[in-house]
Amino acid sequence: MNEANPPIAHLPPELLVSIFASLADESSVYETDWTVVTHVCRAWRHIALDHPILWRHVNFTDDDAWTRELCLRSQSVSISVLWNVEEAPYSPIKADILLAHLVHTEQLTLLVDDDSHHITTTLTFPAPALHTFSVFSSGQSEVDIPTNLFDSYSPKLHQVAIDRCSRFPWSSPVLNNVVVFNLSNVVDFPLGEDGGFLAALERMSVLKTLSISSVEPYSFVTGNTPSHQHAELSHVSRLTLSCDVTDCVAFFQRVRLSPAVSLDLSAVSTSSSDSIRTLLRAIKSAGVNTDEHAVSLELTSSCPGFVCVQTYNVERPTEQDKEFPAFYIAFLWSEERELDALDVTKAICATFSLAHLQALNVNIRGPQWCAALPLWMDLFGASRSISTLTVSGREGALVCAALTQAYDDGTKKWGPVVHGTVATYFLPTLTNLEIDRDALSFTLLGESAPLHQLLPQWLKQREDAGLVALRALTLDGYGGVTPEWIADLKIAFPSLAITVY
Amino acid sequence: MPTIVSVDDSTVPGEGSSRLLLLVSSDNKHIVVEEDIMSRSRFISKQVEGFEATSQRHAILLPFSSFVLNKVIEYCSHYRGYYLLEDDPDAAPPGRSPVREWDQEFLDVDRNMLLRIIKAAHYLEIKSLVGSCARAIADMIRGKTTEEMREILGVENDFTPEEEHSPSSKCTG
């Protein structure tokens, strides 16, 4: 092996194939930019043309002859086919090419429009190598899928993504071995129909990941025949659902899920606390064990006067709330709209029963929020179980100041610690307190002093008042304390875990 | 086939599972390396299996310089004990070679060195290293014109004008 100055032309063909394959794989998969190597020299051209594996990604183009040539160069290796009708308009020749090579097609992706949604009706030939089948539509028409899709023979089909295919032949055996199933743009899709969607999901015994998104509101309930039968979907380990709360509820009321299923919900609500509660009950009734497993729910509400997104992490229930788990609620207000802070705050008060609330994170921005301060006072004051309350945002400090005043007046039972623009309020049930380097001052019963000077006094006062004892104190970069101060605090409050960074 | 010469036991002492191998480069440098480190090489593994069959241990002569060999040993040492799918003879080959950050730095060398490493990796049957080298070489020519590719990799244009421009030679859309 002469290695003095090895020109690349002397590399064994299999190494050049590896290089070309890497070039092909790293470009956008279906791009043919890599084929420029066939114009570099004779050896490269021969090697490229002699190795069909390099031609396994076939992107249908406007040129029918070139499309056919690409398919022929792949010979009989498993190929991935992409046909985007916006770049390669439908032609009977292309349809014939597609069908002629279906037998060794491993991945098939069709991007259709209103003029070409019938492409799929030709897919009535066996697809013995097909692993992934995806259909996406840029139009509004339903995509037509034949009842004898792939002649009912696609034993390796593990991944299916269909878009605007509400009339999919759900009884087709091609779904039997599907592991990942994505359904999007669902319209008028009653779940109660016999032999329909839910029955298909039940039969898909190896299905692990199910995603349903962009469901037209009330698609799952329109014309739905009430049924007490549940589709057994305990084999599904991950469920992603994005639709109206009403449709979410309808779905969960019709299925049985594994207690440990991973749920990722994105629901749209008309901002009624009842709908949220109904949804949570439906999730539980589907068998999901929210006691042990977190559920991620992003709820988009549209109330008169405002839009908000609320994120719930449903965690373990507590003694205070047997019916519903504790909520972590974050309100992220749309800054693009002029919001009436008073209305928003009223809506929050009306929407949530704060008796169940354990943690609340509120991001307050905009001077108009000051007008709503009295309501915020009521909002926070209504809670009897909040252990963590964080108010942040540009106007957070104003809210904080008002609450401080309320505390000093003796009308409320908590006091704030202000650090920077973030204000953390600790309540009667507070168990964990974090203080950062910006926590410069602390107001307690009208006395204002550096935090560390008043903190021992405040802890003692809590203890004397019989409030829930603080269990953990974290000082993150706060510069006012000395080792002696920490040692004294540990002696005075031996059960308090003190962490200093 | 490699040239194999006998070595006495004192040159290559055996120490149970971490036995030592003597590798001899083309510039006649003797490099002792633990067998475990080189087990990623199918070629070396097959040689060692041969030793087991004959109860004799040998030096393994390799047709590349000690400079290149040390680079390969550095690679194998870094991934000692790591499972890399590409090097599993029983695993299906991955669809595309995974990107490993350490490899990218390791292979940040000039063209000739890169070509020598990929040839050595190919000879030693270390598929993971071949894949990483192939990716590095592909990175050098990605997005380049044919003329630039020829210049970067030292390839001669041996097409006749007819071959280069003949409609039948169309290779790109």
**Residue A489 and residue A485: Cα distance in Å, rounded?**
6
Query: Which residues on chain A are in Cβ contact (under 8 Å) with B154?
Result: 7-9
Query: Which residues on chain A are in Cβ contact (under 8 Å) with B167?
Result: none
Residues 6+ apart with CB under 8 A from A255: A198, A201, A230, A231, A232, A233, A286
Q: How confident is the model at residue B38 (pLDDT cuts 50, 70, 90)?
A: very high
Does B96 lie at the interface with A, CB-CB under 8 angstroms? Answer: yes
**Residue A58 and residue A69: Cα distance in Å, rounded?**
10
Q: How confident is the model at residue A6 (pLDDT cuts 50, 70, 90)?
A: low
Query: Which residues on chain B are in Cβ contact (under 8 Å) with A26?
Result: 96, 135, 138-139, 142
Choice between B40 and A345, residue whose per-residue pLDDT is larger: B40
Does B116 lie at the interface with A, CB-CB under 8 angstroms? Answer: yes
Q: What residues 28-57 of chain B have any CB closer than 8 A to a CB of chain A?
A: none
Q: How confident is the model at residue A401 (pLDDT cuts 50, 70, 90)?
A: low
Q: Which of A21, A22, A41 sits opposite B157 (nearest CB)?
A: A41
Tell me how far CA of residue A19 lies from CA of A22, A58, A308, B85, in angstroms: 5, 19, 51, 19
What value does the mean pLDDT take over residues A136-146?
A: 89
| DSSP 8-state secondary structure symbol assigned to residue A318 | B
How far does A95 lie from chain B, in Å, by closest CA?
Answer: 19
Q: How confident is the model at residue A129 (pLDDT cuts 50, 70, 90)?
A: very high
Choice between A461 and B32, residue whose per-residue pLDDT is larger: B32
Sign of CA dihedral B79, B81, B84, B86: positive
Query: Which of A26, A39, A54, A77 would best serve as a mutation to test chain B binding (most B beta carbons within 10 A)?
Result: A39
Tell me if residue B36 falls in helix, strand or coil: helix
pLDDT digit string, tens, across residues A78-113 = 999 999 998 899 999 999 999 999 999 999 999 998
Mean pLDDT of chain A: 72
Query: Which residues on chain B are in Cβ contact (under 8 Å) with A3?
Result: 26, 63-65, 68, 116, 119
Strand A180-186, strand A441-444: pairing: unpaired
Query: Can you give the residue range of the structural domain that contains B59?
Result: 4-152
| pLDDT score recorded for residue A161 | 96
Q: Please check whether residue B56 lies inside any domain of the structure.
A: yes
- Give me the number of domains chain B comprises: 1
CB contact under 8 A, A40 and B143: no
Q: Does the structure show a pLDDT above 50 at A306?
A: no
Please name every residue paired with A257 in a beta bridge, in sequence order, or none if there are none. Answer: A233
Choice between A45 and A475, residue whose per-residue pLDDT is larger: A45
| pLDDT score recorded for residue A250 | 87
pLDDT digit string, tens, across residues A204-245 = 999 999 999 988 877 777 655 555 578 899 999 889 988 888
Please name every residue paired with A183 in a beta bridge, in sequence order, or none if there are none. Answer: A162, A212
| pLDDT score recorded for residue A302 | 43
Q: Which of A1, A20, A41 sits opposite B159 (nearest CB)?
A: A41
**% of chain A at pLDDT higher than 70:** 58
Closest to A471 in 3D by CA, of A479, A481, A463: A463
Strand B20-24, strand A132-137: pairing: unpaired
| pLDDT score recorded for residue B28 | 94
Q: Is B141 exposed, middle or buried (0-12, 13-18, 19+ CB in 10 A)?
A: buried
Strand A447-450, strand A441-444: pairing: antiparallel
Residue whose pair of structure tokens reads 């669809």 in the numeric block? B95
CB A435 within 8 A of CB A419: yes
Please name every residue paired with A298 in a beta bridge, in sequence order, or none if there are none. Answer: A266, A311
Complex confidence, ipTM: 0.85
| DSSP 8-state secondary structure symbol assigned to residue A115 | T
Q: How confident is the model at residue B65 (pLDDT cuts 50, 70, 90)?
A: very high
**Number of A:B CB contacts under 8 A?**
115
Q: How confident is the model at residue A192 (pLDDT cuts 50, 70, 90)?
A: low
pLDDT digit string, tens, across residues A432-443 = 676 655 444 454
Cβ neighbours around A10 below 10 Å, total: 15
Q: How confident is the model at residue A494 (pLDDT cuts 50, 70, 90)?
A: confident
Please name every residue paired with A306 in a beta bridge, in sequence order, or none if there are none. Answer: A303
Q: Does the structure show a pLDDT above 90 at A132?
A: yes
**Residue A285 and residue A304: Cα distance in Å, rounded?**
31
Q: Does the structure show a pLDDT above 90 at A400?
A: no
Q: Please check whether residue B167 lies inside any domain of the structure.
A: no
Q: Please check whether residue B160 lies inside any domain of the structure.
A: no
Return the biggest CA–CA distance within chain A: 91
- Judged by average pLDDT, the poorest of A334-338, B72-76, B151-155 is A334-338
Closest to A429 in 3D by CA, of A339, A318, A285, A335: A318
CB contact under 8 A, A6 and B145: no
CB contact under 8 A, A8 and B154: yes
Most confident of A255-269, A351-365, B7-21: A255-269
Phi-psi region of A236 (alpha: psi -120 to 50; beta: other; left: phi over 0): beta
Tell me if residue A67 falls in helix, strand or coil: helix
What amino acid is encoded at A143 in this protein? V
| pLDDT score recorded for residue A460 | 80
Choice between B11 and A495, residue whose per-residue pLDDT is larger: A495
CB B127 within 8 A of CB B139: no
**Residue A286 and residue B144: Cα distance in Å, rounded?**
56
Residue whose pair of structure tokens reads 């194939």 in the numeric block? A17
**% of chain B at pLDDT higher than 70:** 78
- Write the secondary structure of A386-434 as one string of H (helix), E (strand) and C (coil): CCEEEEECCCHHHHHHHHHHHHHCCCCCCEEEEECCEEEEECCCCCEEE
| pLDDT score recorded for residue A291 | 54
What amino acid is encoded at A161 in this protein? A
Phi-psi region of A271 (alpha: psi -120 to 50; beta: other; left: phi over 0): left
| pLDDT score recorded for residue A343 | 57
Q: Please check whether residue B110 lies inside any domain of the structure.
A: yes
Q: Please check whether residue B18 lies inside any domain of the structure.
A: yes
Tell me if residue A439 falls in helix, strand or coil: coil
Q: Please check whether residue B82 lies inside any domain of the structure.
A: yes
What value does the mean pLDDT take over residues A268-293?
A: 68
Closest to A357 in 3D by CA, of A332, A381, A392: A381
Q: Does the structure show a pLDDT above 80 at B57?
A: no
Q: Please check whether residue B164 lies inside any domain of the structure.
A: no
Q: Does the structure show a pLDDT above 60 at A114?
A: yes
CB A392 within 8 A of CB A421: yes
Any idea what the CATH number is for the domain that residue B134 is in?
3.30.710.10
| pLDDT score recorded for residue A106 | 95
Residues on chain A bordering chain B, Cβ-to-Cβ distance under 8 angstroms = 1, 3, 5-9, 11-12, 14-15, 18-23, 25-27, 32-33, 35-45, 48-49, 61, 63, 66, 69-70
Choice between B12 and A129, residue whose per-residue pLDDT is larger: A129
Alpha helix ranges (H) inside chain B: 35-38, 42-54, 66-78, 101-106, 111-124, 127-141, 146-153, 161-165
| pLDDT score recorded for residue A209 | 94
Q: How confident is the model at residue B51 (pLDDT cuts 50, 70, 90)?
A: confident
Q: How confident is the model at residue A70 (pLDDT cuts 50, 70, 90)?
A: confident
Q: Does the structure show a pLDDT above 60 at A377?
A: no
pLDDT digit string, tens, across residues A450-474 = 667 777 877 787 677 666 677 778 7
What value does the mean pLDDT take over residues A495-500?
A: 82
Tell me if residue A57 falls in helix, strand or coil: strand
Mean pLDDT of chain B: 82
- Write the secondary structure of A353-388 as one string of H (helix), E (strand) and C (coil): CHHHEEEEEEECCCHHHHHHHHHHHHHHHHCCCCCE
| pLDDT score recorded for residue A244 | 82
Phi, psi (rounded to 5 degrees) for B24: -115, 120
What value does the mean pLDDT take over residues A68-82?
A: 91
How far does A236 lie from chain B, in Å, by closest CA?
Answer: 27
pLDDT digit string, tens, across residues A323-376 = 333 333 434 444 444 445 555 555 555 555 555 455 555 555 555 555 555 565
Does B123 lie at the interface with A, CB-CB under 8 angstroms? Answer: yes
- Judged by average pLDDT, the poorest of A38-47, A367-376, B79-88, B104-113 is A367-376
Q: Does the structure show a pLDDT above 90 at A322?
A: no
**Residue A245 and residue A267: Cα distance in Å, rounded?**
5
Q: DSSP string covering A155-212, please?
A: TT--EEEEES-TT--TT-GGGTT-SEEEEEEE-S--TTSTTSHHHHHHH-TT--EEEE
CB A475 within 8 A of CB A440: no
Q: Please check whether residue B14 lies inside any domain of the structure.
A: yes
